[in-house]
Amino acid sequence: MTEGTAETGAATGGVNILLRLEGLTLFAGMVMLYAAWDGSWLVFALLFFVPDLSFLAYLSDAKFGALVYNAAHSYMAPVALLTLGFGLASPLTLSIALIWLAHIGIDRALGYGLKYSAGFGFTHLGRIGRQKDA
């Protein structure tokens, strides 16, 4: 399968750049909010890469891997957590949500998009990995 097929289509050109800039903006915004919130930077460092543990689901197969990875790298859960954190006035819940969103933001800025079931290297932001130019 190639990048341009319906199963692995990816944003290109200006749209890709815009999506990556949105990711950078999300990362910067969440880090600034975390700093303003006076969150623990040790907690930030410990939790920042936790969403990447979702890639272990690829040990099962690509379809399950993409499902789990996308669940951990979609905005839905951390925004729901952020809302819950504000509603419950829970500093820990807010901190986790901010860190999670910062992680997603930097991933998107670096080109690590949501995955297609064709394999880990097929993302909505284009191919990643050694075969990206193939």
Does 80 score more than 60 pLDDT? yes
In the chain, the amino acid numbered 22 is: E
CB atoms closer than 10 angstroms to residue 73? 23
Q: Check residue 2 and give its pLDDT.
A: 45
Q: Report the predicted TM-score, pTM, of the whole model to 2 decimal places.
A: 0.90
The domain segmentation of the chain, as residue ranges, is 13-125
Does 1 score more than 70 pLDDT? no
DSSP per-residue codes, 31-46: HHHHHHHT--HHHHHH
pLDDT band for 131, please (50, 70, 90 cuts).
low
**For 26-49, how does the pLDDT look when each residue is reduced to its tens digit (9 = 90+)?**
999 999 999 998 999 999 999 999
The neighbouring-strand residues paired with 126 are: 123
